[in-house]
Amino acid sequence: MKKALIVVDVQNDFMPGGNLAVKDGDKIVPGINDLIASNPFDVLVFTQDCHPQNHGSFASNHPGKKPFEMDELNCLPQMLWPDHCVQGTKGMDFHPDLDVPMNSYTIFKGMDPNVDSYSAFYDNGGQNPSGLTDYLKSMGITDIDICGLAYDYCVYYTALDAVKEGFKVKVIKNLTKPVIDTPESIAKIEYQLVNAGVEIITWEKNV
């Protein structure tokens, strides 16, 4: 067994004070650092949203629309978001306290203005692979642990796609945070994850 860790979108715009803040998003950073330091993963993958300013998921590019309204993008249902993780801005950068080892592999997603990309593996239309599957399989990876932001969007879709690509997948619940933090929302996504074959775990540092 060879294992990879995928750290999803731990970027400034998803932190408190960011353009698309996830509540307590910054609270998971120390735990992710401890996890990386304490576990000998064979491969470390970090993802970053990397949107052009004209990205079609931004409400600002849809006259008359507001953030968090539903619309359509490239014939797909699309939540409209505040401008976030725009290329060349500090909002796109990793949280400054996140440890990103030199030997890690970075996936940039959401660069096509015509389709959003929640998953680290494919865009939302499932048409354009990121190359992550080929990379992980070339490294002999069989198992993937996933953490980061946000639990109910990019972590969720990354986990589902990882299973589809043939990996054994675990999501580390206490090292992720959701956009919509209600018992009903969390129960729904966890039912779907488990039903797809994802194991939901917690991780604690050995003292």
What are the catalytic residues? 9, 109, 154
3-class SS string, the chain = CCEEEEEECCEHHHCCCCCCCCCCHHHHHHHHHHHHHHCCCCEEEEEEECECCCCCCEHHHCCCCCCCCEEEECCEEEECECCCCECCCHHHCECCCCCCCCCCEEEEECCCCCCCCCCCCECCCCCCECCHHHHHHHCCCCEEEEEEECHHHHHHHHHHHHHHCCCEEEEEEEEEECCCCCHHHHHHHHHHHHHHCCEEECCCCCC
